Amino acid sequence: MTQPIQQSIASPEIIEVETATVACDGGGPLGHPRVYLTLTKGGEVECPYCDRIYKLKPGAAPRH
């Protein structure tokens, strides 16, 4: 009898920021092209390349 394959899906990395615009390059030598992202009115944005989530720090007013 075969055992079911268990896949491990890592949660996306969450990075707290104090600015409304952030730059993401995926980090490390195997990153991705640098992209500039703008936080939504809800105070967060997800990188379309690496799925990192940038979230406004609690109590921070976003600087532009």
Mean pLDDT by 10 residues, the chain (64 residues): 71 93 93 96 95 93 69
Of 7, 14, 1, nearest to 51 (Cα)?
14
Going from the N-terminus, what domains does the chain have, and what CATH number goes with each? 14-56 (2.60.260.40)
pTM: 0.78
Q: What is the pLDDT of residue 1?
A: 63
- Nearest Cα to 60, choosing from 6, 10, 18? 18
Instruction: Give the model's pLDDT for residue 28.
Output: 86
